[in-house]
Amino acid sequence: MRLDSFLSDSRLIKRRSQAKKACESGWVYLDGKVAKPGKEVKPGQIISINFAHRILEIEILDIPLRNVRKEEAKNLYKIIREERRKKELF
């Protein structure tokens, strides 16, 4: 499964187009390397996402074969680290 599809199916990022932009902007890392949106993912890999005010690091547990219900989406990954950043005031 493509990385951008996994991010949207797991509901880590709302839309696939947003996931694609995040990857292209260099905000998404797969196993420590900047990842392209079309990179194939598999269970056991680590994804790090640099959101505006937090960093999220997850391990892929399962790849969905079809559309995933909201309740099932959280079973696709395990959160390894979640770090909130302070807002910078100018």
Q: What is the pLDDT of residues 18-63, one digit of tens each?
A: 999 999 999 999 999 999 999 999 999 999 999 888 999 999 999 9
Report the SS3 class of residue 72. helix
Q: Positive or negative, the Cα torsion across 46, 10, 76, 52?
A: positive
Residue range of the domain that includes 20: 3-84
- 89 occurs within a structural domain: no
Residue with tokens 């696709």: 76
CATH number at residue 53: 3.10.290.10
The pLDDT score that the predictor gives to residue 52 is 85
* pLDDT of 16 over the 90 cut: yes
The rounded distance, in Å, linking the Cα atoms of 44 and 60 is 5
3-state class percentages of the chain: helix first, strand second, coil last, to nearest 5 = 25, 30, 45
Please give the tally of structural domains in the chain.
1
The pLDDT score that the predictor gives to residue 66 is 84
- 90 occurs within a structural domain: no
- 8 occurs within a structural domain: yes
The pLDDT score that the predictor gives to residue 68 is 87
- C-alpha of 26 from chain center: 12
- 61 occurs within a structural domain: yes
